[in-house]
């Protein structure tokens, strides 16, 4: 196996913007290899003696469990640090937390409310920091999504992805992931729920070099026509619960992925969702539980892509 090389001595992954196309390719290649090996019951201890710290200010099923299990499968350890388990909850600064944790840990994953908090953590930590979801980005999800697309479509370049719903943290990083790997992406969202303007501009600029089109529209029907992939996410991200009534009224019915929407896409289109999902809201049960859906493969690939990422960041001798 080709050794993964990373230019700087410490690399943080706070967004897909932190990964080059080449690095994404390498992570996907390694993830496929680790997945094949794991299916054969062969997991090699590339991270023996290494410990991952896991700071979670928000709940999580997939991110928490896949990181923890991934470390164990690679022969390392993981320590879950819930919001109230560390002195951060009593006012210790992020700077001091980062410096202290760096004395014991080899890598940190953090799920935070404010993106600037994970940026501060990364700035003061001397070990690599991975964003496990902030209000702005979700890079680990996008690595799993790209792997899932590649497995289903046997390629990335030249595909067309339509995103329906909230231009949220997952959408921001997915635009960057698509732009970097040659997938054109159209986001259909209500007015006022567009992805971050600076990320749209960045994705468009990257897309110019990779020959992809990144577009924002408010018209779901035109966005999904002839798409290879339709993706969505909850209308109510963690922390937005207070906006439930207004959001549901704004997003429904125009931005729901249902059978009629899927039928406008290509005949072999797939449906993706990072989960957790609300059936009857952003997606109907007959789509997420139907023939188009690859959501369980997508959830599984969180494990494989994160194992690859951990090996890369902790410089495993592969």
Among all residues, which ones are annotated catalytic?
A: 111, 138, 141, 233, 274, 302
CA distance 146 to 155: 10
Query: Could you tell me which residues come within 8 angstroms of residue 303 by beta carbon, excluding any fewer than 6 positions away?
Result: 66, 69, 70, 73
Q: Edge-to-edge, what's the strand order for the sheet holding 107-111?
A: 77-82, 51-56, 107-111, 129-131
CB 185 within 8 A of CB 195: no
Distance (Å) of CA 262 to CA 36, 265, 280:
31, 5, 15
We find the least distance from the C-beta atom of residue 60 to ligand NVA, in angstroms, to be: 8
Q: Which residue has the tokens 């690939």?
A: 301
Instruction: Give the up-direction half-sphere exposure of residue 98: CA atoms within 13 A in the CB hemisphere.
Output: 19
Tell me if 237 contacts ligand NVA by CB under 6 A.
Answer: yes
CB closer to ligand CP, 54 vs 316? 54
Report residue 296 as tokens: 């369980």
Tell me if 234 contacts ligand NVA by CB under 6 A.
Answer: yes
Contact string (CB under 6 A) for ligand CP, positions 141-170, x = contact: x-----------------------------
Among ligand NVA, ligand CP, none, what does residue 233 contact (CB within 5–8 Å per kind)? ligand NVA
Among ligand NVA, ligand CP, none, what does residue 234 contact (CB within 5–8 Å per kind)? ligand NVA
Residue whose C-beta lies closest to ligand NVA: 237
Tell me if 133 contacts ligand CP by CB under 6 A.
Answer: yes
Q: Edge-to-edge, what's the strand order for the sheet holding 229-232?
A: 214-217, 184-188, 160-164, 229-232, 270-273
We find the least distance from the C-beta atom of residue 13 to ligand CP, in angstroms, to be: 14
Query: Could you tell me which residues come within 8 angstroms of residue 180 by beta carbon, excluding any fewer than 6 positions away?
Result: 16, 19, 20, 21, 24, 206, 210
> Of residues 65, 238, 264, 318, which one binds ligand NVA by CB under 6 A?
238
Contact string (CB under 6 A) for ligand CP, positions 92-131, x = contact: ----------------------------------------
Number of residues that bind ligand NVA (CB under 6 A): 9
Task: Return phi, psi of residue 184, to 5°.
Answer: -75, 140
140: exposed, middle or buried (Cβ count in 10 Å: 0-12, 13-18, 19+): buried
Tell me if 298 contacts ligand NVA by CB under 6 A.
Answer: no
CB closer to ligand CP, 184 vs 301? 301
Tell me if 233 contacts ligand NVA by CB under 6 A.
Answer: yes
Which residues in this chain contact ligand NVA in the complex, by CB under 6 A? 133, 168-170, 233-234, 237-238, 274
Which residues in this chain contact ligand CP in the complex, by CB under 6 A? 60-63, 133, 141, 274-276
């Amino acid at each position: 196996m080709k050794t993964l090389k990373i230019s700087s001595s410490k690399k943080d992954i706070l967004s897909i913007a932190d990964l080059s196309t080449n690095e994404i390719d390498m992570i996907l290649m390694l993830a496929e290899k680790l997945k094949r090996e794991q299916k054969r019951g062969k997991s090699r201890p590339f991270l023996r003696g290494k410990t991952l710290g896991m700071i979670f200010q928000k709940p999580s099923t997939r991110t928490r469990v896949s990181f923890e299990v991934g470390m164990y499968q690679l022969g390392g350890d993981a320590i879950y640090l819930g919001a109230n388990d560390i002195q951060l909850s009593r006012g210790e600064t992020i700077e001091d937390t980062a410096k202290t944790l760096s004395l014991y840990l080899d890598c940190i994953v953090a799920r935070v409310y404010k993106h600037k908090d994970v940026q501060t953590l990364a700035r003061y930590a001397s070990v690599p920091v991975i964003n496990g979801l902030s209000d702005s980005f979700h890079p680990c999800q996008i690595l799993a999504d790209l792997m899932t697309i590649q497995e289903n479509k046997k390629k990335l370049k030249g595909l067309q992805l339509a995103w329906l719903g909230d231009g949220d943290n997952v959408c921001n990083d997915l635009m960057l992931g698509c732009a970097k790997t040659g997938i054109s992406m159209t986001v259909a969202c209500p007015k006022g729920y567009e992805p971050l303007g600076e990320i749209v501009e960045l994705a468009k600029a990257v897309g110019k070099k990779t020959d992809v089109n990144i577009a924002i529209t408010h018209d779901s029907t035109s966005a999904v026509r002839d798409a290879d992939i339709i993706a969505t996410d909850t209308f109510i991200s963690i922390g937005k619960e207070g906006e439930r009534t207004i959001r549901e009224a704004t997003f429904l019915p125009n931005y729901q992925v249902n059978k009629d929407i899927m039928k406008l896409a290509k005949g072999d289109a797939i449906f993706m969702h990072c989960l957790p999902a609300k059936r009857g809201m952003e997606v109907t049960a007959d789509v997420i539980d139907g023939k188009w859906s690859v959501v369980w493969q997508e959830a599984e690939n969180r494990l494989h892509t994160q194992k690859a990422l951990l090996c890369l960041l902790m410089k495993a001798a592969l």
